[in-house]
């Protein structure tokens, strides 16, 4: 039976930590039991506060949203239901960036959860609370949404294993999607084995059957997938992070699972967008237009009608989003189709793309606005790739820079989520051997 924490209401309304939460990860703590048995029996789950949990409010990282949508949810989101059915136990709802439109985890209204893996640095967002809770051992598993990196970035900053699922693979009924054509569900865990088990509970059946990559149990033949190393993506990483990530990719654990014959190439050079521009920075501009158009379409009337006071950064992004025209959107949609076809052709049914999850370790808290914007653009030039392709991506905490975690990612073909999780578990086992 769910039992609300004693500080639940004050933390939801005023941003203080929920009862027993010394790192500020939870906006609301309670205990909601799942099925008596299943692959996730006994697993403590922290749910991002843009998913409905029956009997509790959904704040969406915004006190204004909570005030205008105050009632408890009548039903749990589909993703929450799937994990409860697998035996998980919801231990509370985690903080998030305001309306999921940021990547640092710094919420002007509720504060910043502590990053146990990188003290004094941001946890990443927008799935900040679940990531912080898992990193600190206050939860075993985190559930979040990922539009432009909101699971993958916190996974990298907090030293966690993370999954962004294939777009549409997990129903988002009962979740607030920032940009529906990009937003999908994702998971965070401290170990790859649990991430794979949770993926098995969360992922809906793939329409044509989930494709299996070479080297995975469901596919015979080649011993490893065709490994594509996106050199231009690695070039976006800071020098020390690039070296550490390259070393992790070449290490025996990764080589055993991914093969010893990677192909280096510049991912963004293969398709022109925006009237002839190439490169991952140009891909981000395509993503930014579509994300912004959809974000304003979803929230613009509410923001304007309620006179909502948004926090810095989020406010400016919504202001820019409000000015995106239908013609800009149409051009960006055509560019996205070109990028999507390019990625599908590269991956086929046997390829994986290796790239950094983020350009480097988590930044320090309170990064000045201009530097934060520059860092965000660099981050999203990496994270937009899977978003534009609607592809699954797994982030693996395999590298460190000055003791701080940095994630190495694999992107696979649409629907290959299970294979990516299997490869990640094999790499983790090899690294631990």
The set of catalytic residues is 48, 126, 150
End-to-end CA distance of the chain: 40
Q: Which residues contact 344 (CB under 8 A, 6 or more apart)?
A: 389, 413, 414
What value does the CA radius of gyration of the chain take, rounded to a whole number of Å? Answer: 20
Tokens 């976006």 identify what position? 236
Across the beta sheet with 184-189, the strand order is: 26-32, 89-94, 44-48, 141-146, 184-189, 161-164, 393-401, 404-411, 351-356, 226-230, 263-265
C-alpha torsion angle, residues 48, 26, 193, 53 (rounded to 10): -40
Answer whether the bond into residue 126 is a cis peptide, omega within 30°: yes
Q: At what angle do helices 369-389 and 280-306 cross, to 10 degrees?
A: 110
Name 277's bridge partners.
Answer: 273
How far apart are alpha carbons 25 and 123 in whole angstroms? 10
Name 228's bridge partners.
Answer: 263, 353
DSSP for residue 142 = E
User: DSSP readout, 288-313?
Assistant: HHHHHHHHHHHHHHHHHHHT--PPTT
Alpha helices in 307-368 (DSSP H): 314-321, 326-347
Q: Are 87 and 35 in contact (CB under 8 A)?
A: yes
Q: What is the helix (H) or strand (E) element at residue 47, kind and residue range?
A: strand 44-48
What is the SS3 assignment for 75? Answer: coil
Length reported for the chain: 433
Coarse DSSP helix, strand, coil percentages of the chain, rounded to the nearest 5 percent? 40, 15, 45
How far apart are alpha carbons 264 and 35 in whole angstroms? 46
């Amino acid at each position: 039976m769910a039992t609300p924490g004693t500080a639940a209401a004050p933390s939801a309304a005023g941003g203080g930590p929920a009862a027993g939460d010394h790192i500020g990860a939870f906006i609301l703590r309670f205990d909601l039991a799942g099925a008596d048995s299943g692959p996730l029996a006994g697993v403590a789950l922290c749910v991002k506060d843009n998913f409905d949990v029956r009997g509790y409010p959904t704040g969406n990282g915004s006190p204004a949203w909570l005030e205008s949508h105050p009632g408890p949810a009548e039903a749990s989101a589909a993703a929450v239901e799937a994990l409860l059915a697998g035996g998980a136990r919801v231990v509370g709802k985690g903080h998030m960036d305001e309306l999921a439109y940021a990547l640092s985890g710094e919420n002007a209204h509720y504060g910043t959860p502590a990053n146990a893996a990188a003290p004094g640095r941001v946890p990443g967002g927008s799935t900040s609370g679940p990531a912080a809770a898992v990193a600190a051992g206050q939860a075993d598993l985190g559930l979040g949404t990922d539009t432009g990196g909101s699971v993958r970035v916190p996974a990298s900053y907090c030293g966690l294993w993370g999954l962004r699922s294939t777009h549409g693979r997990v129903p988002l009924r009962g979740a607030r999607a920032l940009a529906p054509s990009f937003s999908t569900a994702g998971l965070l865990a401290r170990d790859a084995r649990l991430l794979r088990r949770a993926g098995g509970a969360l992922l809906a059946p793939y329409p044509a059957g989930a494709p299996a990559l070479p080297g995975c149990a469901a596919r015979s033949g080649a011993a490893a997938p065709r490994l594509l190393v996106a050199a231009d993506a690695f070039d976006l990483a800071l020098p020390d992070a690039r070296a550490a990530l390259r070393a992790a990719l070449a290490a025996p654990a990764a080589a055993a699972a991914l093969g010893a014959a990677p192909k280096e190439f510049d991912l963004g050079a293969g398709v022109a967008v925006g009237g002839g521009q190439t490169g991952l920075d140009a891909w981000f501009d395509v993503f930014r237009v579509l994300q912004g158009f959809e974000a304003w379409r979803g929230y613009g009337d509410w923001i304007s009608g309620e006179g909502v006071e948004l926090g810095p950064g989020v406010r400016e992004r919504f202001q820019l989003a409000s000015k995106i025209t239908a013609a800009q959107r149409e051009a960006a949609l055509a560019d996205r189709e070109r990028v999507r076809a390019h990625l599908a052709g590269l991956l086929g049914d046997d390829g994986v793309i290796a790239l950094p999850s983020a350009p480097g370790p988590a930044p320090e808290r309170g990064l000045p606005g201009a530097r934060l914007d520059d860092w965000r653009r660099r981050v999203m030039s990496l994270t937009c790739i899977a978003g534009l392709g609607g592809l699954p991506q797994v982030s693996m905490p395999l590298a460190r820079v000055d003791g701080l975690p940095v994630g190495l990612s694999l992107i696979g073909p649409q629907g290959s989520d299970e294979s990516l999780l299997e490869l990640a578990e094999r790499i983790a086992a090899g690294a631990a051997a």
